[in-house]
């Protein structure tokens, strides 16, 4: 009898657990229809926003925006009708699995892209429930227009949940700052932070461009050769500057605004 009771109790427990699982599986929290559509012709009709070399994912992420989205000013929300496309290419890798750089210090495309698209329209995003980001919906396609991520897989653990972290102040778009600052999306060889160049010594092969990125959020800095051979001009927060040096040797660099801010470039023989 006691045993029977126990079995009954266990059965109820299991059934209860199944009911909970069942409910969360039915609740998708994502759109089930594609209200975005493959953005035919975006490479020629949209504006190039940025090209970001993604060191973590070994990818090149090229973003494009239609006119409405491309004309947004920093800090403004995107207007209805905005479409942003991210072409995500695998980066070409060497035998160690590290991204190969071209002479501009940029990643090289190593295969076909996946095409990530976000679109903002009145009332979009309701279906995402707790993962909603404003009025954006998301989907990703292969170049032939078939789905990489169909609408129902763009919510939890995917597009919508992650883009929430870009925040409302950016209207859930992550790297438009690269566009606003006209900055390079190259992996920087040095950053400017707290009135310092980090690292203070940059070693590079002849002819390979180096990129310095201003990650300070206060007043501008410059990246200026002591011998006068190059000068970045004023770099505001988020700006970057690239320069390629051919002649092997040492070049000392300073900031025109801050006399303790200095670095050395070593161009290898």
Residues that bind ligand HEC (CB under 6 A): 52, 54, 61, 63, 84-86, 116-118, 138-140, 149, 154, 158-159, 162-163, 173-176
DSSP assignment of 102-140 equals -TTS-B-B-SPPEEEEEEE-TTTTGGGGGG--TTEEEEE
Residue number with CB closer to ligand HEC (85 or 265): 85
At closest approach, how far in Å is the CB of 89 from ligand HEC?
12
Here the tokens at position 44 are 């020629």
Choose the one of Cu ion, ligand HEC, none that binds residue 118, judging by a C-beta under 5 to 8 angstroms depending on kind: ligand HEC
Residue number with CB closer to ligand HEC (187 or 198): 187
Choose the one of ligand HEC, Cu ion, none that binds residue 162, judging by a C-beta under 5 to 8 angstroms depending on kind: ligand HEC
Using the CB atoms, write b or e for 16-38: b if 16+ within 10 Å. Answer: eeeeeeeeeeeebbbbeebebeb
Taking phi over 0 as left and psi of -120 to 50 as alpha, with beta for the rest, 37 belongs to: left
Choose the one of Cu ion, ligand HEC, none that binds residue 255, judging by a C-beta under 5 to 8 angstroms depending on kind: Cu ion
SS3 11: helix
At closest approach, how far in Å is the CB of 56 from ligand HEC?
8
CA dist., res. 94 & res. 35, Å (int): 40
Residue number with CB closer to ligand HEC (149 or 236): 149
At closest approach, how far in Å is the CB of 218 from ligand HEC?
24
């Amino acid at each position: 009898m006691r045993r029977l009771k126990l079995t009954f109790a266990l059965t109820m427990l299991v059934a209860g657990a199944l009911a909970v699982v069942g409910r969360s599986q039915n609740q998708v929290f994502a759109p089930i229809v594609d209200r975005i559509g493959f953005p035919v012709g975006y490479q020629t009709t949209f504006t190039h926003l940025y090209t970001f070399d993604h060191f973590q994912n070994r990818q090149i992420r090229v973003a494009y925006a239609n006119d409405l989205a491309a004309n947004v000013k920093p800090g403004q929300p995107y207007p209805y009708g905005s479409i942003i496309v991210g072409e995500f290419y695998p980066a070409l890798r060497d035998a160690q699995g590290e991204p190969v750089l071209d002479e501009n210090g940029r990643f090289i495309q190593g295969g076909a892209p996946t095409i990530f698209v976000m679109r903002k329209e009145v009332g979009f995003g309701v279906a995402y429930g707790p993962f909603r980001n404003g009025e954006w919906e998301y989907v990703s396609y292969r170049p032939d227009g078939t789905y990489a991520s169909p609408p129902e897989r763009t919510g939890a653990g995917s597009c919508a949940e992650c883009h929430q972290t870009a925040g409302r102040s950016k209207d859930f778009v992550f790297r438009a700052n690269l566009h606003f600052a006209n900055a390079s999306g190259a992996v920087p060889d040095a950053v400017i932070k707290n009135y310092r160049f980090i690292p203070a010594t940059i070693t590079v092969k002849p002819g390979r461009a180096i990129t310095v990125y201003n990650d300070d959020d206060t007043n501008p800095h410059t990246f200026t050769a002591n011998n006068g051979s190059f000068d970045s001009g004023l770099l505001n927060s988020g700006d970057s500057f690239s320069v390629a040096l051919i002649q092997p040797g040492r070049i000392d660099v300073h900031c025109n605004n801050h006399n303790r801010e200095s670095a050395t470039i070593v161009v290898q023989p």
